[in-house]
Chain A
Amino acid sequence: METLKLEILTPNGLIFDGQAQSVTLPGEEGEFGVLPHHASITTLLSAGVIDFETENGTTESIVVNWGVVQVDETKVVVLVDGAVAIRGENESDVAKALEDAKKLIHDVSDSNVAIAAVSAKIESAAFRLV
């Protein structure tokens, strides 16, 4: 299976750096997916969830509040302002991450519809874990 290199960076450090099979990003103009050999593109991200399938097939979700993504054929570099990874060893960890993620989204968006849409996505991502 071919993979692409995915880097997710925040001002406070690297959130993810590794190989991924596919990435789904919350673009400013709607969600879009990236597979290896994608055409080069640079665009903005809005508040939402980045889903990606790692090398060994597991899906991970990272919630971001603002970002810019640079895609070329072999790699995806995502620069974001704030990010929370939805992952954890047990249910309480996941629940905490969920809280943080929701807070992050609430801080940037004042439209209830947007918050609700993103929240639903976060919930479903968390649901996969537990």
Chain B
Amino acid sequence: MANLKDIQRKIKSVSNTQKTTRAMKLVSTAKLRRAEELAKRSRLFAQKTNELITELSGRINCHKIGGISSRSFEIIEEPKMVDIVFVTADKGLCGGFNLQTIKAVKALLREHKEKKIKVRLRGIGKKGVEFFTYNEVELMDAVKDLSSAPDVARSAEFIQSSIRDFNDGIIDGLHIVYNGYKNVITQELHVNKILPVDVDDFDCEENVQSSMVEIEAEDEEKVLDSLITKYVEYNMYYALIDSVAAEHSARMQAMDAATNNAKEMVKTLNVQFNKARQEAITTELIEIISGVESMK
């Protein structure tokens, strides 16, 4: 009999869990819609900014334009130290979302170690920060409440020190790793090389024919510097909002899967419960009948 009670209790607990996961899914769906809208509106701006910077940098490198002291456009042959900034969520329960980013960061760390390049790790997001702290990987910087509420000013402030160090020659590179939003069911991992500007995809031949880019000559340095600063700041901010959208979509999916699993479980438990009940009835009947038989 205790068996019956046990099963009943289990059914109750599983269906309660199901209620929670369903509610969490609905919350994520609502939040996703907002985050997605924000990311979508910014995507075009991000694309155009990156296009502009890549084109500028590509041209500077292709035509070997001299006299530009900004390191952002150089190809640094032997980097000694780089910054890696990663963005994870502040909360869990979103499937493999955080782990994917963490794995990518770990791979990147290994890669740099092989090349004997020192790495300064800067983390945004509680989950990633906690993981690396637990595994005793040194973090230079850890921000725990930015990734759930992206803010232009705070993200700019955060990345500012990297830009400064890059310009001062303390670091030779800047990478941003985050898990971005692709569509409602897929997330896409981005490992973006921000500084120096990545010109690998830029085809000199193809662009040599097209019209020239001319920069107002008087303050070339100033133009380039403020452009680069905006470019890095904006990339950081975009990584944050894209990551939020991805986080919600990942959580929505994870919670949907959990709800379905709970449903399955309730079903099997119900079958078990019915079997157990049937068994109990049968045993009882047999007892009664055999009792009657023995009286005869």
Contacts and interface: CB of A to CB of B under 8 A. Distances in A.
Given A11-B237, A28-B219, A40 B212 contact: yes
B243 to A, nearest CB: 16
A109 interface: no
A43 B223 contact: yes
B281 interface: no
Interface residues of B, number: 25
Contacts of B61: none
Interface string B223-238: 1001100100010010
Interface stretch (A48-56, A68-76, A87-95, A114-122): A68-76
B41 A13 contact: yes
Interface stretch (B43-51, B89-97, B110-118, B271-279): B43-51
B68 to A, nearest CB: 14
A42 B226 contact: no
Interface residues of A, number: 24
A3 interface: no
Contacts of A68: 52, 223, 227, 230
A14 interface: yes
B232 to A, nearest CB: 14
A68 B218 CA distance: 16
A9 interface: yes
Interface of B: 38, 41-42, 44-45, 48-49, 52, 56, 152, 211-216, 218-219, 222-223, 226-227, 230, 234, 237
